[in-house]
Structure 1
Amino acid sequence: MSKVSGLQKPQGAPRLVALGISTDEVDPLLAFFAALPPQVTWAIVFTKPLSLVQLARLKEVLHKSGGPILEWLSTGMRLAPGRVYLPPRHACVELADEAFVLSPAPEGETKPMHLVDTFLLSLLGRDPARTAVVCLDRVPLDGVLGFQQLGEAGAPIFLRPRQGLARRKGQGVLEPGRMPAVLARAFEGETAEPDDSAALDRILGLLERTCHMEISAYKTDMLARRITRRMRLRRHDSFYDYAEALAADPAAVAELYDDLLIGVTGFYRDSEVIQTLRTKVLDPMVASCDGQKPLRIWVPACATGEEAYTLAIELAESFEAAGRAPNFRILASDLRQSSLDVASVGLYDVGAVETVPEVLRDKYFQRVGGQYAVRKSLRAHIVFSSHDALVDPPFLQLDLVSCRNLLIYLNPEPQARLLSMVLFGLRADGALLLGQSETLIRDQDALEVIDRGARLFRKRGDVQPRPVPLPEQDLPQGDPLKLQRPRLGIGLAHRDHVVLNGFDAVLRRYAPSSLLISAEGEVLGWFGAASVLVRKTDGASLRTVEDVVHDDLQIPITVALEKLREGPFETFVRVLKVELAGGAPGRVQLRFEALDTAGAGPLLLVAVTFGDGQTPVPTPQTAPEAEDALFLSRRVQELERDLRLTERTLQHVTERLEATGEELLASNQELQMANRALHRDNHGLNHSNAAIRAQAEDIGLYANGLEAVLDALGIGFVVVSAQGVIHRVSAQLAVRLNLASAPEGLDIARLGLGPDFDALPQVVQDVARSKRPAELSGEGPGGTLWLRVFPQIGPSPRDPQGDAGGDGVVLVFHWPRGP
């Protein structure tokens, strides 16, 4: 509960939802309002002004759903249930005693973060059980102070998934479409997130961090089912217990990760679909192939490879039927390395190949003991690779994509992203095969149906590929010093630069003359006079002893590194003659010590002492050098023995490497080309979006200025069709006539102007027909009104029923202004 003193918390006050969203976000806003309960009684207050696009789309949603009334905030307006309040630009809004107070933003505090914090902090006096905050920003930067204090006071805070704000007590992370239902339960006193749900979130977060899996892309119910199955196999009774076990056992996390990845596949699965694909796509594709470039097929989420091999068999058969040598390449990708290993070997049990027709089984498989192995001639056409279809750039110049039963496990946004990538990679007239339970919900204009029953589509040649949306980068959370240890030398990249600069200053001042080297031989840093023993580098990110350190020091450092790797390490000293700058000879004493890094692997510290006349350095001796040479000689013999064993091992895999090396190189080049193309497209899209946002801001400023001028003149207007249907009303006139909700689509007779204006509908029709202006005056809402009716030049806007309507009219209202 809040500890704010001197504030009376009104009982029975309306339930208030403070809602924040950036001006470039539209979909989360619509998802939230579309999911509002019928006849909602909350007061929803936007913490920032909306863009023109957001406002127009919001009006559409509220008009269709009959949702809460939309109102512009003004000073003295009291908070009322069933309302959506919009703040004006550059105004400081506060809530005091359930009434809004508006004032000009203080100079220098017109940025959204200041204005949002001001409003949120004014809510601390309310009952936290009747106050909630919803942040739909992708990354919540505005109002962070208000979030924290309201959350500490007990008010529920709701954020979108993958946001950068660290989650605190009282905060829920939900998709925008789920927030209203959870809000309703929270306002009724129910727990917004049960303990079991919080434990499930913990499991999903652990998977995302450990396995680099985009958990938010997959449907939560599917993930919960698979986690429940593995939890029961592990004999745990609750998500909480299972989460504790996973946190202590990395092997269990890897086991769960394998369970979550989609792995259902088989040879000739849905044989009727395969036959349709052969006759309607593969055979025509082979017939039109020019023979210069191979046909290219992508199988995302290929699992253990049965689907890819099935397509390879059918393509080989199609080429043979056409009397041509097979010329195709299948790119089969998956996230699970264990599945790719099985697919690459191509060795399957008898039961797995039972669905392959016997003639084809004998032709493309050979019996190996109790299993069947795919023949090398067929395997040579397939490249299996690790590839995340949701994150990595798509393959390009594809003739066919077989993406069966992957979309059904994804949420709508990742579905759209994957389809965009597929369309981007397909050639014009390329084909797309989906699973039997999958339906296209977007991009239908870019595809034409080949066979609806088989879920087989073709990309239209006249449709340009859409820019592929790249996934956003997660922001780091938590204590930065716990996320990554400070690393000496190059590559110091950390958001807390003050701490790191302090580390560097201490090392420069107090560290002895020394070199710091990793067990792998990377020179991490050097200090003091030891810099004269280091060559200048070209800024490369990896600096080895061989590339950086003085030649005379390399043998003893190599010996020390070998001893460090073998362990345990005993400190020892070497004295050397070195050739310093300018060719002058000198003596150097090297002291080798091992540094423990608390589990991150040992480091080698080489302390350097020079014979400068002040610090005595012993005379170099030959015994240590002979000892080092003997040590290296033994090590070389061991390495030669290991090399011979390695050569014999490599003989068993050389054939496979030769077969796939060229394919992997080609795939890598394709990925690089795709990556460059994607970045170019997205760069252009970002420029376009920035220009659109700037234009929208200019239009908004112009519209607000025009409204201010009209209000100063005491003028308002209404645009009406010839049938008397309202198309648009100026903002100040809507306020004066108490038209709180969007009046567009209403009949002019429902304006409620009073009996002096009962003839207005007939006057509208007369003016629309005769093209001659007319005048009316009388007592209306708020006092005397003068009204002139002008014919509109040009076509009238269509009314909501879709009737053309002929020419419309413009009603210009004028009311007397005060002194």
Structure 2
Amino acid sequence: MIPADERDFDDLLAMLKETRGFDFTGYKRTTLMRRIARRLESLKLRDYSEYRDYLELEPEEFNRLFDSLLINVTSFFRDPVAWQVLRERVVPAIVAGKQAGKGIRVWSAGCATGEEAYSLAMILAEEIGVDEFKDRVKIYATDLDEQALQVARSASYTDRQMAEVPPELRDAYFESSGGLHAFRRDLRRQVIFGRNDLTRDAPISRVDLLLARNTLMYFNTETQLNIVRRFHFALANPGYLFLGKAEMLLNHSDKFEPLDLRMRLFKKTGTASSGARPAWSSALPTHTTLGELQSSALASGPVAQLGLDTNGRLALVNSRAEMLFSLNPRDIGRPFQDLEVSYRPVELRSVIEQAQTELRTVELQEIIWQRSGQPDVGVYDVSVVPLQNGDGDLVGVGINFYDVTRYRRLRDELEQANRELENAYEELQSLNEELETTNEELQSTNEELETTNEELQSTNEELETMNEELQSTNDELQQINDALNARSDELDKANAFVSAMVRSLGDAVAVVDTELRVLIWSPGAEELWGVRADEATGQQLTGLDIGLPLDNLAAHLRALVGDAEPRDWPDGMAVDAVNRRGRATRLSIEFSRMLAEDGRTAGVILLMDVLDPAPS
């Protein structure tokens, strides 16, 4: 490649990092060039410079490019023999090494669409039982591809994807419907999906088992070395690493020993040297100097981090925490309880005491914080981690603040009808819950369709019975059919007449069905609210952008269509509204229920008369 092409390629990688947050500088360069070249050939572009221009004009191409670069190849129990060794040798060792009731933490790095994370969930649930699995296990599954993570959070897979799942596990852990198999919802909360860049983001700590299968192979040698160091830091002692069959741990004998080399199972050994200790490491020895702590705090990352010594004094603060909490170097050495961050955005002193006493991480979810002088509200997850040296002695406490504001905002946008759930307990699974909500809505719709189908089947059976009774007299049957057709025509004419009559009324008239969808929208309603009949018909009345107090009105309408007794609902009401010209108006609204032939409520007629203008 000529130098100009090299520069254009580097500029393209810089663009992906700056605009989309994907840093590919640690990936194998030849692999990236080969896959990007396929996109150039597909689009008939000559060079990287033209491709950059194309990306700026066609943002959708980013998704196609990332699909090409981030190859999400995975399956349930991929390489079954290796999984069997993991199940027979590693999982029992992890469980046996834990005290009764102690948590089990697992990290699936590069989880793609989630099959391996759920494979782990099934193995652990089989080993310790479903109830203990719910109480003790956390499986953290991370990937760089947000689209793949969305598929993983939905936890629904096709027959083809489920081919490698043994029938007894499929029956025990999946709910099948319509050709899809959904992982059990009551166990899904133990599997937490999130975005993590292995080359930049801090690793998940204190994990007993780490899966990174066929992930290292995409990175260059230098990046692999850094990632392996992070894996070593992430693992507890003892801890186990499970790699793909195409990967090896060469030149890392000081960090891992092979448990089963052929199956790529390794066990953590030794400790990272002080020169290789990452800046985000919380396992600081007791003799660490203040200068070393300050040096470690210089590492800038997406997580705000604080470190306290055993005397409760501030010993470490990174650049993100300095900006977030308005701290400065003069605060190093001050008692933590004297700092505002000790009680705002959340009271931390009792939490720190709990973490030190119980020697376990204490986590707080969805702490809402309105920073002084900032217009937007922030949402944070906080973890308080006891820091121990190699001998297990407590040397301090680490405090991490994870900004989850973006995830909270996404959940709020998709759950406008359920805002009362905003303060519910979340463990970084807001996106997963949004998809669960969508799935429940689809299931509810499916149930309604099934009910409708049963009603149609019942009607069909009645018609068949009628045919059997009347088959001896075809002439009478024809007469009955003719009569029914004539009656249907009369009903159609009557309906057309009623619709024409309603539309000809001068007053504002609206007719809604039992689902509060607009059936008729009179010219008077068009004139009053500025919404045409073709815009309103078929829409939810409560979803129209008109100046009616629809929330209060909806309650009365639901009572009417619910067949409440007459004493339970008024036949009219007066409301203050705003007409299509933006002027305050006093309205009188009268309600009339439409009854079907069987006496059930088929809808409601609303007659809206303009009274005097509402007082200003």
Which structure would you say has the larger Rg?
A: 1
